[in-house]
Amino acid sequence: MSQLINKQYRNGTMLYNNTTYQELLNSFPPRPINSDKELEKTQAVVDALIDKGSLTDDERDYLNLLGLLIHEYEETQELVPDIFGVEILKVFMEEQNLKQKDLISIFKTESIVSNVLNGKRQLTVEHIQKLADFFHVSPAVFFPINS
């Protein structure tokens, strides 16, 4: 007979030890996820099982069920489009209420900033590095996607 749930907690999440499928269902009954709070709770159980390492067949089945519920919830959420290059620069500027003149230290002149933002000029490697430093992000976010 398998052991019951180990009542120890790590980072606020219950740890499991060779728990049967029914015991898992009783400890955290799977339900459709309808909020980010429910998603966090479900993800915490998933993380605890994954952290356990070696899983029994029952634990794998339960983990798969929770994964399906998470996937179903995520599919209903608004997707964030992948944006790169100048588009992400515009987003950063808007989020931080920056004007073109605020980026002169990166681009040297306001006309270059304007040309970049209007697609008349490409970002250079130097611009990308300076922008990454300025916004504290990876330079990769400014490299355009090649279609």
User: Please, what is the average pLDDT of the chain?
Assistant: 83
Nearest to 32, CA basis, from 42, 24, 23, 22:
42
Nearest to 101, CA basis, from 113, 116, 89, 87:
113
**Is residue 1's pLDDT more than 90?**
no
To 10 degrees, what angle do helices 36-52 and 57-76 make? 150
At residue 20, the pLDDT reads 87
d(Cα 98, Cα 105) in Å, to the nearest integer? Answer: 13
144 — pLDDT class (breaks 50, 70, 90): low
d(Cα 84, Cα 72) in Å, to the nearest integer? Answer: 27
pTM here is 0.48
For 16, the 3-state DSSP assignment is coil
CA distances from 34 to 38, 39, 40, 95, 109 (A): 7, 8, 11, 28, 49
Q: Tell me the domains of the chain and their CATH numbers.
A: 9-76 (no CATH), 85-142 (1.10.260.40)
Which token pair is 97?
């209420």
At residue 64, the pLDDT reads 93
Model confidence over 34-68: pLDDT tens digits?
A: 998 999 999 999 988 888 878 889 999 999 999 99
d(Cα 79, Cα 133) in Å, to the nearest integer? Answer: 27
70 — pLDDT class (breaks 50, 70, 90): very high
Nearest to 6, CA basis, from 52, 28, 44, 15:
15
**Is residue 29's pLDDT more than 90?**
yes
Q: Computed over its alpha carbons, how large is the radius of gyration of the chain?
A: 24
